[in-house]
Structure formats: C-alpha cells, structure tokens
Amino acid sequence: MVFSINTNSAANSALQNLNITTQEMTQTQLDITTGLKVNGPQDDASTYAIAQSMRGTIAGMGAVQTALASGQSTLSVAINGGQSIADLITQMEAKVVAANADGLDSTSRSALNNDYQALSSQIETIVVTASFNGTNLLTSGASNFSVLSTVDGSVISVSAQDMSLTGLGISGLDLNSSGDASAALTAINTALNLVNSRLAALGSAASRIDNQSSFTSQLVDVLNEGVGNLVDANMAQESAQLQALQVKQQLGVESLSIANQAPQLILSLFK
C-alpha cells in the first residue's frame, strides 16, 4: 500500500460516495414531501410531459363540469316552472268545466272567471321569473340554449319552450258566458297537451346534460388516477429507501472519517 500526505485516494472515494448518497437522500426527501416521484422534467422528461398534458385536459374538463352544472340549473328552473304551469292549467281546466255547467248564475260565473284570471296571471308571473343566470327558456321569443359538453367545444343544444299564455294559445280567454267557457275548454285542453309536450322536451335535454355530467366526472377521476400512476411516489417504498440512505450516509461519514485518519499513520513510520 502506498501512503501519501498529498493524495488521499480513500478519502476522495469516500467523499464521492457520501455525496452520491446525499443527493439520493435529497431526492427521496423531496419525493416524500411532495408525494411525487416526478417533480419536474429533470426527473423524467417524457413522463412529465405526458402528465402535464393530462393535467391540462383535466383542467379543461373542470370548465366543462362547471358549464354542465350551470346547464343543469337552468334546465331545473325551467322544468320546475313548467310543472307549476301544468298544475295551474289543470286548476284552470277545473274552473272552465265548472263554468260550462248548466244553470250557472252570474255571481258564480263571475267568481269562476276571477279565479281563472288569477291563475292566468300566475302563469305569466312564473314564465317571467323562471330564469337562471340570465337565461329563461319559457318566455315568448326566448333563444335556444347551448351547454358546453366536451373540451373540444361540442355543445348540447336545448330548445326554448314558450309557455307564456300567448305561446300556449290561452291568452285573453274568459268565462263571462257559456260560449266563452266552451271556447276556453277547448283551448285549455290543447294548452295542457302543449305544456306536457314541451316539458318532455326539457326533460329529455336535462337527461342528456345529467348523463354527460356523470360521464365527465367519471372521466376526470380516471385521468386523475392516470396522472397519479405516472407521477405519484410509492410512499412505502420511499420511506424504506430513506431509511436505507440514512444508514448509508452514516456509514459514509464514518468511512470518510477513517480515510481522513490515514495520513496520521505516516507519522507513526517516523517514530
């Protein structure tokens, strides 16, 4: 064995190994702290790029989920309004049928007409107020509604359903005479069929939005799992690795200490 006071090969080797262990410990501690085995492109460029692309898709789907939720609320308001209108028309039908009874006196007819007009006014109130975030699908002349459904810009189109008195063909009706009551009965029956048909159209659109929302939510979960499989650290494995590296670091420090004592042996040769 060659002894030198200028070059301590053993110490250099021990220091290099200690530095490598320290670097590995730093990386393992980072993985444990962040929960990620790929923290940046320096760890694994291709995996990081794939994960970032998937994260972008997930972020886009978050915007889609928000749009679908807004669409669900808009349809829910419209459907609830339509159901209330259907109930009111049913009540109006009862008033009209009563007004068609033979031998009805003027006082009773006037009372039935007042109730009928009150129900008509209530329908108009519902139509005007059945709005969510500025969108009303029940008013006369309402525009169709588009709901963003995918990250590539596809939409679910929802047709407006006019449920105003004019749209249902029952505007301006009254029960002031038996002839008026007879005409009102025909119009009311037609209006009830129209409401049911238009409610069915709204319900179908709502079902499409609900299904797309559910699918989007499931797809986001799958993508999140996919990103996790790519970049998440195995915490049990990282913990075991950290303990092993801590032991290696302690041994490295001891080895460096021993190696640094080697030049002292040269002094003993001269004693």
Using CA atoms, how far apart are residues 100 and 186, in angstroms rounded to an integer?
A: 12
Q: Where are the beta strands (DSSP E) in 127-170?
A: 131-132, 135-136, 145-148, 155-158
Task: Give the confidence band of 270 by pLDDT, cuts at 50, 70, 90.
Answer: low
Separation between Cα atoms, residue 241 and residue 182, nearest integer Å: 88
Rounded Cα–Cα distance for residues 221 and 230 (Å):
14
**Would the pLDDT of 266 be above 70?**
no
Q: What is the pLDDT of residue 4?
A: 64
Mean pLDDT of 22-27: 80
* Mean pLDDT lowest among 61-75, 105-119, 204-218, 220-234: 220-234
Contact criterion met (CB below 8 Å) for 164 and 158: no
Q: Give the E-state strand segments of the chain in sequence order.
A: 131-132, 135-136, 145-148, 155-158
Q: What is the pLDDT of residues 40-94, one digit of tens each?
A: 888 889 999 999 999 999 999 999 999 999 999 999 999 999 999 999 999 999 9
Per-residue pLDDT tens over the stretch 133-188: 999 999 999 999 999 999 999 999 999 999 999 999 999 999 999 899 999 999 99
Q: What is the pLDDT of residues 108-140, one digit of tens each?
A: 999 999 999 999 999 999 999 999 999 999 999
Q: How confident is the model at residue 32 (pLDDT cuts 50, 70, 90)?
A: confident
Check residue 45 and give its pLDDT.
Answer: 92
- Would you state the pLDDT for residue 250? 86
Distance of CA 163 to the CA centre of its chain: 30
What is the DSSP code (8-state) at residue 224?
H
Please report the pLDDT score of residue 184 as a whole number.
94
Is residue 11 scored above 80 in pLDDT? no
Query: How many other C-beta atoms lie within 10 A of the C-beta of residue 189?
Result: 13
Angle between helices 9-34 and 235-269 (to 10 degrees): 160
Above 60 in pLDDT, residue 1?
no
Domain positions in the chain are 45-230, 235-271
pLDDT band of 271, cuts 50, 70, 90:
low
DSSP letter at 166? T
CATH of the structural domain 45-230, one choice from 3.90.1150.10, 1.20.1330.10, 3.40.50.2000, 2.60.120.480? 1.20.1330.10
Give the pLDDT score at 269.
Answer: 64
The three-class DSSP label of residue 11 is helix
C-alpha 113/C-alpha 174 separation (Å) is 6
pLDDT for the residue numbered 25: 83
Q: What is the dihedral of CA 177, 179, 180, 184, to 10 degrees?
A: 140
- The stretch 214-241 carries a mean pLDDT of 88
The pLDDT score that the predictor gives to residue 218 is: 95
